[in-house]
Structure 1
């Protein structure tokens, strides 16, 4: 007598449930993709006026600008130049890494060297017209996408900046992990971390993996009287790809996470790649063990210092989170955009090119969202008032003094 098996029917049933879930997700995503999302608690943001006085300092946070247009005007660079003209010398532009796509600065005889130089020159030319300060960080693409020879790519890029834009600060020096501090204005301190150092394979500057976090804690403790901006390439919160968020399309066409035009249908099986990146992660994902350890140690420090702002790039969108009194930004839409999921822990997200501006007023600090093609802001928020007391400014670390005196 034949034995009846429920296994094939169970698989078909589960496959049907998965397809229904993906269809529902797809319909939901179509409704909100590329539209700004603001958490209900901040829906009145447009009714909060900016201070009438001029800010004492402004910071543009431009992440992942490595694919700017080389033929014709670039919308983000045009917007950045408008910001420069409005700001003048009382401002700082911070590039949050991934300054050259796809693999940073190749060797002079490499076939992609000409494209890398063209993209980087367009960016540096725009920055060279700015009378304020310029700070560059490195990201995984600047380290040849984290490959074992990435340190050589990073050093070539740093040397190129030193030759083309000698007034800029490439921090930390020579690919070190940091932290490095730079006084932007009285009462406004920038602290830079090279987060790629913790996830990089192959040669890199020698350092203790835990010591930078101890130094960061000491630095933040000594500067409680200041408004502090910590900058790194990798986000600590994200509703996008590197935070394990995927579109319904990426479950059906999983190879599009690697290349946007790779429309190879792999239904059901294709869900394994998003699941893998969510739970285990590629080297550039929050779920990866090295990234996860770095993130956990960094958050352990930052959570003890309310009102510190942490700014990153990496995910190609604009996101703002307020967690345990701190402010966490993802400003990685300098030249590309990618899906970002609304809701969750986020206060604001938008899948759009652009960048965040931090405006430091005498008594308040404001976050503003600037996007090409949008004449008005899609979001702004007062982050916190200035500290009540303002003791004398802590002197610059010796490493930065040497850098400024080059």
Structure 2
């Protein structure tokens, strides 16, 4: 067979195989998208009721609320207000970054300033009613989507919070990497990291890239007697876009990963963009070198301390993973939703607006609850059992040497 004919035959077979795979994926996704997924081992979760006594402290974890409605009808803000009323002073609200879409808080003369203020004011007005702690983190959008002038945007937003909600904690201050601590209640400690600092381009506060992880290890070792929540904007495990998971539609219409309505059909060629983001990544993806290095170093520390709870936003859905004795949350469905793939290492995922609540009881008992607007009952809850950390996978010697050289 001539070389040209062989090449055409190979391309045709590849095209047919890709088409069949995309059709199969599309059919699967239609069956489970926007439905809560719970791993089979936890399908009996409704049979496990919450303790009868009230929790000692509660923590709401709400990420990516930057596109909330400004007319007083936003469902997430209404659900958060209900949670705040139920909780009272014995609680903490943690906003996990991406507080203002699309690019944080512009300068006063910028044409998008009024819209940005309106969205942020709607969030701050809800938080102002709360009697407990309020903590705000920053995300990549708050840093002007990671552009070189992002630090300026970040400091402007922090100053706005100090002026309009002075009782809140904007952490870490001035865009520093952290870690910083906040004692939420007796025996319950919050540690905050500014994960965007590691992936940010352009000016940022000067710091050693490795020192924050050494400080984090020291903090966790010194606080083994406490229940610890570590909060950062970027997830460490994810079954969604930033973790390299894409829908069949995004292979055919790849530009919808940038804008939901960019329906420009690019079949076959369009699969190159998801493949690129899965293997190499945009700056906000786990596969990107800066994000990958930050994630690897952070997991190396967290895996040493069982029962740590790490909470993040960034991906616009709800996800829970238990890995190597720790608990990893993605709670980025504060104003938008996006595809999340079921299964894998996830215990729970749902493509729905909402947020997680951590309820801390006496006797070291901690419960994770999923709170979603419009739901007549919880779609998932789980007692976070104290766990013995699993042995991390053995890393081959050549890879170990590469990791040592990259530190």
Do both proteins adopt the same fold according to a TM-score greater than 0.5, normalized to the shorter chain? yes
CA distance in structure 1 between the aligned counterparts of 2:230 and 2:4, rounded to whole angstroms? 63
CA distance in structure 2 between the aligned counterparts of 1:71 and 1:247, rounded to whole angstroms? 33
CA distance in structure 2 between the aligned counterparts of 1:228 and 1:2, rounded to whole angstroms? 66
Partner in structure 2 of residue 384 of structure 1: 385
Partner in structure 1 of residue 400 of structure 2: none
**Does 1:210 find its partner at 2:210?**
yes
Structure 1 contact 148–201 (Cα < 8 Å) conserved: yes
CA distance in structure 2 between the aligned counterparts of 1:119 and 1:241, rounded to whole angstroms? 25
Shift of 1:384: 2.9
Partner in structure 1 of residue 234 of structure 2: 234
Structure 1 contact 244–274 (Cα < 8 Å) conserved: yes
CA distance in structure 1 between the aligned counterparts of 2:99 and 2:297, rounded to whole angstroms? 26
Partner in structure 2 of residue 24 of structure 1: 24
Structure 1 contact 338–351 (Cα < 8 Å) conserved: yes
> In the TM superposition, what are the counterparts of 1:228-267 in structure 2 within 5 Å?
228-267=228-267
**Does 1:63 find its partner at 2:79?**
no
Structure 1 contact 62–332 (Cα < 8 Å) conserved: yes
Aligned CA-pair RMSD:
1.2
Structure 1 contact 310–328 (Cα < 8 Å) conserved: yes
CA distance in structure 1 between the aligned counterparts of 2:345 and 2:162, rounded to whole angstroms? 40
Partner in structure 2 of residue 354 of structure 1: 354
Partner in structure 2 of residue 368 of structure 1: 369
Shift of 1:3: 7.5
**Does 1:195 find its partner at 2:189?**
no
CA distance in structure 1 between the aligned counterparts of 2:221 and 2:113, rounded to whole angstroms? 43
Partner in structure 2 of residue 36 of structure 1: 36
CA distance in structure 1 between the aligned counterparts of 2:325 and 2:188, rounded to whole angstroms? 18
CA distance in structure 2 between the aligned counterparts of 1:105 and 1:51, rounded to whole angstroms? 42
Per-residue CA deviation, residues 103-124 of structure 1 (Å, 9 max, x unaligned), is 0000000000000000000000
CA distance in structure 1 between the aligned counterparts of 2:300 and 2:248, rounded to whole angstroms? 34
Structure 1 contact 175–204 (Cα < 8 Å) conserved: yes
Partner in structure 2 of residue 390 of structure 1: none
CA distance in structure 2 between the aligned counterparts of 1:2 and 1:93, rounded to whole angstroms? 67
Per-residue CA deviation, residues 317-375 of structure 1 (Å, 9 max, x unaligned), is 00000000000000000000000000000000000000000000002000000000101
Partner in structure 2 of residue 398 of structure 1: none
| Aligned residue pair count | 386
CA distance in structure 1 between the aligned counterparts of 2:152 and 2:88, rounded to whole angstroms? 35
Partner in structure 2 of residue 401 of structure 1: none
Partner in structure 2 of residue 137 of structure 1: 137
TM norm structure 1: 0.94
Shift of 1:10: 1.2
Structure 2 contact 72–122 (Cα < 8 Å) conserved: no
Partner in structure 2 of residue 272 of structure 1: 272
Structure 1 contact 365–385 (Cα < 8 Å) conserved: no
Shift of 1:7: 1.0
Shift of 1:72: 3.8
Structure 2 contact 230–308 (Cα < 8 Å) conserved: yes
Structure 2 contact 76–353 (Cα < 8 Å) conserved: yes
> In the TM superposition, what are the counterparts of 1:286-325 in structure 2 within 5 Å?
286-325=286-325
After TM superposition, what 4+ stretches of structure 1 lie above 4 angstroms from structure 2? 1-4
Shift of 1:71: 2.1
CA distance in structure 1 between the aligned counterparts of 2:326 and 2:285, rounded to whole angstroms? 22
**Structure 2 alignment gaps of length 5 or more:** 388-407
Per-residue CA deviation, residues 223-277 of structure 1 (Å, 9 max, x unaligned), is 0000000000000000000000000000000000000000000000000000000
Partner in structure 2 of residue 172 of structure 1: 172
Q: Note closer, same or farther for the CA distance 1:149–1:3 as it changes in structure 2 (3 Å cut).
A: closer
Structure 2 contact 356–371 (Cα < 8 Å) conserved: yes
The DSSP-based 3-state class of the residue aligned with 2:143 is: helix
CA distance in structure 2 between the aligned counterparts of 1:195 and 1:353, rounded to whole angstroms? 23
CA distance in structure 2 between the aligned counterparts of 1:5 and 1:296, rounded to whole angstroms? 46
CA distance in structure 1 between the aligned counterparts of 2:194 and 2:10, rounded to whole angstroms? 49
**Structure 1 alignment gaps of length 5 or more:** 387-406
Structure 1 contact 213–298 (Cα < 8 Å) conserved: yes
Structure 2 contact 134–169 (Cα < 8 Å) conserved: yes
The DSSP-based 3-state class of the residue aligned with 1:236 is: coil
